[in-house]
Structures are given as structure tokens and as C-alpha cells.
Structure 1
Amino acid sequence: MRSDSVEIPTRREFVKSGGAVLGGTALAGCASNVSRSSQTEPSRTTGAENTTPPQSISATLWPAGEIELDAVPEQVFTDLTHHAGMALAVGRADAVNATWGGDAATQMWNSYLERLDGVSVEWSDLPNSFNPDKELLYELDSDLHLADPAYMTWMDSLNRADVTEIEENVAPWFGNTFSNTHGSPPEEWSDVYEYYTLWGIFEQVAKLFQAEDRYNALADIHTSVLASIEQNRPPVDDRPTAVTLKVVDESLWVYSLNAPGFTYAHTRPLGATDVFPELSSSRQIDYEALAEHDPDVILIAEMMGHSGIEEVRSTFEENPVAQQLSAVTNDRVYAGGVRNQGPVINLFQLEMTAKQFYPEQFGDWPTYTGGPYPEIPTDEQLFDRQRVADIINGDL
């Protein structure tokens, strides 16, 4: 827990004046909510111009604490997928000037967004934001660094003094990453760190974009999806055993299903029985350990949007130990979701995982070999695609 006596890093007082201009129709749905500076008429007696200070936009998210902006940010640096996904969700994908993953990440994003009319991203040519140096951050000259300052110092390029320098000379930091698994931040940040849900982070980010209406509309859909899952999933004794694996070459890494943190925001609500329930962090296992637990369902993490799932299935079918697994013999080895997911991807991945675990209750998950998120019959969808697309596009 943080101490109330900890001093919040100095904030940049002003965002570049260009940030006050709304970009095209991207914020048409919430333009009326954006705070703008007001100006009085010049004094008739002295000719002096009196101005009212602009009403600032503020939000609070630790470890950055409370920050203030003069206007909706027009140029936004993002680090991981969940932060970029929040800019997308409020209709500001165009504001992102750096993000993680390049071509591969853009391909993954659009595999989901294929199902949302008029929503896509093109981030392939943006700078990769993993382990950025100060030179890149100065060059980008962002209005907001939508990134966890503690996570920035967890990497190699920046220390806390660098983070403060960028805060003072370029733009504030605002993000939270270690909530993904409730992992420990660098020790120097531990007294100002708090853990949030994915949607709790998104709520604060939406305030900086003056997009609370979009947040509320999407959060209502999220609540509805969770309610449907809770109402329709089978009793605990009738749920399958399951595991999430990351396959790296021929190595197997196992992850939790139901631990705290937004990495598990698409599996934890389903309540399947984790065959490695005591797992606190990822660890490498072999096929023999997997066979000992013999899960009914295997999710292969980070496979959506890529073609690698077929290769993994083939590897399992050819391995003398893996080919005997229940999940393999029953064709229940599935492409799993993105771990650092944003709110829009979270909606899709909740639906996807519900079908993979409980096809009798939520409808079959189509055989997936790569490419876009499968088309799901309208009466088997857990949320309205057009409604989500309209919210992102500002048609509330």
C-alpha cells in the first residue's frame, strides 16, 4: 500500500496547444463533454484581455497518481497492448504514436476488429515502444505517455530520474502494468503502487480522453457478458479441468487460469478447474507433467490472429506422451487469447473462452486455424458487435 505522504512526481503544467483540437470525427460522440478554455471580451476601458484559466482534465491512477491535462491528448505513447487498447476503445487509435509489437501486433488486433464494422488499426509502422530510450520519447513529443512509469524502469533503458525528466519536459506518465499478474514492481515504486482491474484502469484512462460516455457504454456490455457467464456456466462439479500453455519452440510454459490480475480476465470468470491451482507465476513443464494432470481443455496462449495453432496441434499429436492427453484425443486444444488484453479484446476473449470451456451452454467454438476471429451466429454471440463498433466510433 502506498503512503499518503509520498510526493507525487511533478506534473507537466501544459499540453501543447494543438491538443485542444478534436481530431476529425473521432470524438464526435463526446465532443460536447470536452472542457475547453473560455475567453472574455477585451475590456472596453483598458483594451486588456482577461482570460479564464482553462478547466483541466484530471484522473488518478497509481503509481503516477493524479495527473492533469489542459486538453484531450492528440499524440499518445503506449507501451503494452492493454494501454493501446484503451485508446482504441475510446475512438482514439489515431492518437497512438508508438506501441508494442509492430506488424505482429497489428495483425493480432485486426483479427479481432474484423468483426467490428468500421474499426481497425494500422500500427505496423509505429515505433516499437518496448524498452524505449529518452531520445525516442523526446522525438515523439507526446501529449501523454499511456504507460506505467514503474514498468518503464523495470526495463533497461530508463531509470526513475529519466522518467521524472520526461514527465517534466515532455508529458505525464499514466498507466498500470503490474496489475496484470499482481506482480511486484521495482522496489523503489512499491510504496506508491496499487493494483486495479482492467476495467478500473480503463475508467481512469477514459477520463483523460473525456470519453466517460464511451467507457460507461462498454462497461455496461462487459457487465452483461459477465452476468450471462455466471448465470449459464454449469455447476462447479460439471466444469472441465483446464490449463493455459505458452509453447516456445518445443518448450511448454504453464500459466494460471484463475489467479488475480487482468492477464486472467478472460479465463477467471469462467471458473474452470485449473490443473495447476497452486501456480503463482509461469513455469516450464514437460509433457510428462502435463500428462500427469491430463486437462480436459488446453488453451495455447497468444495464438489468436496467427496460424501457429495448427503446428502446435500437430506437435501434440506426434508426441508419444502428448497424443494420449484427453484434450488432444477430444480435439480440445484451442488457440488462447492475448494476456495483456485491452477492454475490446477482453469482450471477445470472454465469449471465446466461454465457448471453448462450455459449448453446451454457450455454443460451439468453430475450429480455428488462424486468421480473423471466427464468425459466430448472431443468436450465439455474447455481445452485439454493431453496438460495440458504434460506441468506439462515437455513435452513442
Structure 2
Amino acid sequence: MSDDSDGQAAPTRREYVKFGGAVIGGGLLAGCTGGSGTEPTPSEASTEDGFESESTTETAADEGGYSVRMAPMGEVTFDAVPETAVIFDDVWADHLVAIGQQDRLIASGRPGGYFTGFYDELPGVEFDTDDLTGLWSDGLPKELFYELDADIHHLDPCRWLSFDSGWDEGDFEEVADNVAPFFANRFSRAHSQPPEGECREAYQYYSLWELAEKISQVYRVANRGAKLREVHDGMVTEIQERLPPRSERPTVALVVYNPSERSFGTYEINGPGFAKAHYRPLEPNGAFADSDKTYARNYSAIDLEEMLEIDPDVIIHHWDIEPSERFDALLALEDHPVGKELTAIQNDRVYVGGTPMQGPIFNLFQLENAAQQIYPDAFGEFQGATETPESQQLFDRQRVADIINGEI
């Protein structure tokens, strides 16, 4: 039997989904009147990957209602569980699948390219993107939000205000007031800075698992998020018990390869944010830990000669769950006079690295994959993103599926 109880049965139909608590600019996301005025517990400083600091984020509102607090929106008040949801970034789709709410999703940024292979490994878990409406059409058309008439928008307004998106604060305020609230935190991906002004003042970074907790609170299935966190914690404990001494760990380069220029965009593999949440528990020796040429610092790239000077033991190609044209071009460096000198190329230690836009389910699989890629002697050879032999699996697929489906 499902054990998702929050203390009361969740409503099945929304009368209204209201936004409460203007935070940004005194009105960027201010919507309809909220709850009874119950004071929410403010968020404390984010822990590395935990639920601890946000255990009291959900608060009571009017009778039958509830609220969830998350920066940069502030307190968002709901009269009922959202029945329909819109996302832009794929990360929020994985958060919804993780708590069994994927059928509520009606639109996403670019639904055609979403990878569902990890879900195929979980009995009874499915996510069909064929009927999703695509939000992006040479921009983000405001009219489409009215047409979709969703109950919640998992988009971070501050992200869209950080570049020339065609939206301003008034547009977000209008949609929040007239359609439904926004609820997302995009800059937690890599802890990059939000745009100056009210966004930056209101912002806070959250770990992947803090975001999971907040999303599960919105849909009133908080126990599912907590149980998935238990699976993750068990994995991390087992992994860290089996790690080799630091002096014996390989140097790992996390990169994106540009074939036309034969250059590498470089990333610090132990950097902050949910983008690197599948690497940090592995505590690898990062090839660019002391470099001033990384994407996070100045969007820099290095050429083949510079890469050879670093000569990492392992090269992991960022953003690829499965081999892409760029990844294949990277492997083809074995025929290049400089590229073939790279130790990782010579030793066949070049791997796809998964996507940084990961929620809980992607994180479990990608953590397992990365452990095999970086420490094959401890965790077995990497066979492919969804090809891990049962003897090498670090989490119980059936248990995760049962959590997602609310069966335990």
C-alpha cells in the first residue's frame, strides 16, 4: 500500500491554484490572495544533498490548502494539488517521474529529445513524451501559457530574465496572476549568478535532493522523495566505503569537445550544483580543479596541446548519455598526431558523461555509471548507460520503481 501520507488525503481536482507571497520586485510573481497567513519556516542554508534544512518548508494555509516555499518565488500557496503542469528544462520532468506525477505534464521546452532509457530499466515506470506540447517556438510565446491553462509552471523566471528572452517582470507577474504560479530554481544547476537586482537578492541555491523534497511537497507525495533519498544515501555510503585512497584515484577531465576547432570546453568535475551531483560523491581528482580556464569561470576552452599538457587519466564527455557525433569525433582523436598521445585515448578511458539536467532518477543511474567509469576496479567496467550487469548494480531497480509508483 502506498505510504505517501502528509496527514490528509490530497484533493483530486483544483478549484484554484493560488500564488502567495510576492518576493521579486514587489510583484514579479505576486498572484492571487493566498492562505490564512500562517508563517512559513524560512529556508536555512542549503545542505550538500539533504532534506534536513527544509523539513518544515510545507505549511498549512486555508483549510484544505497548503504552501511550499522556494527561492526565488517565495511562498507559493495551493488550494489543491496541481492537476496539470508545464516545464521547460528536462530536469523537472525527471523530478515529476521520480514521484509518479509524470501524467500531469502537458508541455515542455523541447519534448522530442528526452531520454527515457533509464525509466525502461524500472518495472512499471513509463513516460511518454509524444503528446507533450513544445513550449519553444523561436521564443517563449506568452499566449501559449493561456492556451495550456496549466495549474503550475516549473520554470524559473530569473533564468528567463537573465538573457534577452522577450519576457520581463510584468509578463511573469501577469501569467502568475492570471494562469498559475511558477515553481522552479534553475541556477542551482551550477550555482551561477542570477541577474542583478531583485532576482539575485532573493535567490538561494538548493541541492538536487532539496529540490526533490520541494517538488514532492507540491504534489503532496513527500514520502516518495524521502524514500528515494534513502536509496541515494545508501548508494553513496556503499560507494565511499569502496573508494580507493586518494593517491590512487585517477585524474578526470570533464569536457565538451568541439570537433571543428579541436578544442575542449572544460568543467570542474567536483563543482557545485545539481549538474555535478553524480560526480561529487565519487571524490575524483579533477583535472581542472586549479585551472582558470573552465566554463564556470570564464567560458574558456583549451586546445589539444593544452589538453596533452594536463593529460588526464580519464576523459568524460559532458551532456552525452549515449554517444553523439561530438563524442565519436572525440574518440577519433586516436588517429590524430597529438590526440593519440592522450593517456585516456590510449587506454580507452573516454566515456559519455550523462546529462547535467538530472533529477532523482537520472542521478541514481548516472552516479552508478560514473562509479564504473572512474573506478572500474572497484565497481566493474562500464558497459553503457543502461547496460549495467545485475552484479554491478548499486541500487535496487524494483524498489525504486515501487517508490515511484507509490507501492511502498
TM over 0.5: yes
Give the TM bin, normalised by the shorter chain. 0.7 to 0.9
1:145 aligns with 2:156: no
Matching residue within 339, 347, 358 for 2:364: 347
- CA–CA distance in structure 1, aligned partners of residues 24 and 407 of structure 2: 43
Is the 1:57–1:207 Cα contact (8 Å) retained in structure 2?
A: no
Q: Would you say the 8 A contact 1:334–1:356 is kept in 2? A: yes
Question: 1:230, 1:102 → 2: CA distance?
Answer: 36
Distance, in Å, in 2 between the alignment partners of 1:58 and 1:209 is: 11
Aligned pair partner of 1:172 in 159, 164, 181: 181
1:233 CA displacement: 0.9
Residue in 2 that maps onto 1:377: 389
Aligned CA-pair RMSD: 2.3
Deviation string 1:221-254 (CA, Å, 9 cap, x unpaired) is 0111111122111111111001111124434211
Is the contact between residue 265 and residue 346 of structure 1 (CA under 8 Å) also seen in structure 2?
yes
Select the residue among 309, 323, 326 that pairs with 2:340.
323
Query: Following superposition of structure 1 onto structure 2, how do residues 258-297 of structure 1 map, counting pairs within 5 Å?
Result: 258-278=270-290, 279=294, 280-281=296-297, 282-297=299-314
Find the aligned partners of 1:94 and 1:225 in 2 and give their Cα distance: 28
Compared CA separation, residues 314 and 195, structure 1 to 2 (3 A): closer
Does the aligned pair in 2 maintain the 1:13–1:69 contact within 8 Å? no
**Residues 1-396 of structure 1 mapped to structure 2, 5 A cutoff:** 7=26, 9-13=29-33, 54-105=63-114, 108=115, 110-130=116-136, 131-155=139-163, 156-188=165-197, 189-250=199-260, 251-278=263-290, 279=294, 280-281=296-297, 282-308=299-325, 311-366=328-383, 368=384, 373-396=385-408
Q: For each residue in 1:168-215, what CA deviation from the matched residue of structure 2 results, as whole angstroms up to 9, or x when unmatched?
A: 001011110101111011113111000110111111111010010111
Gaps of 5+ in 2: 1-22, 35-60
Instruction: Kindly state the Cα deviation for residue 315 of structure 1 after the two structures are TM-superposed.
Output: 2.3
- Partner Cα separation in structure 1 for residue 328 and residue 110 of structure 2: 22
Alpha-carbon distance in structure 2 between the residues aligned to 1:83 and 1:145: 10
Letter in 2 for 1:66: E
On the 8 A contact 1:309/1:335 being kept in 2, the answer is: no
Using a 3 Å threshold, how does the CA distance of structure 1 residues 301 and 124 change in structure 2: closer, same or farther? farther
Q: Measure, in 2, the Cα distance between the counterparts of 1:183 and 1:118.
A: 37
Distance in 2 between the 1:213 and 1:345 partners?
19
Contact 1:114/1:120 (CA < 8 Å) preserved in 2? yes
Supply the distance in 2 between the matched residues of 1:7 and 1:221 (Cα, whole angstroms). Answer: 40
How many residue pairs get aligned? The number is 350
> How far has the Cα of 1:307 moved from its partner?
4.6
Tell me, yes or no, if the aligned pair for 1:82 and 1:343 is still in contact at 8 Å.
no
Deviations 1:312-370 (A, max 9, x none): 3442212211111110110010011101111110010110001100111111111x4xx
Shift of 1:374: 2.9
- TM-score relative to the length of structure 1: 0.83
Residue pair 1:60, 1:67 contacting (<8 A) in 2 also: yes
Report the alpha carbon displacement of residue 116 of structure 1 after superposing the two structures with TM. 1.0
- State which structure, 1 or 2, has the greater radius of gyration over its C-alpha atoms: 1
Letter in 1 for 2:125: V
Please tell me the residue identity of whatever aligns with 1:301: H
Distance in 1 separating the partners of 2:257 and 2:122: 29
Query: What are the ranges of 5 or more consecutive residues in structure 1 without an aligned counterpart?
Result: 15-51
Taking the aligned partners of 1:5 and 1:55, their CA distance within structure 2 comes to 27
- TM-aligned CA deviation for residue 309 of structure 1: 6.9
AA aligned to 1:333 is: V
State percent identity of aligned pairs. 36
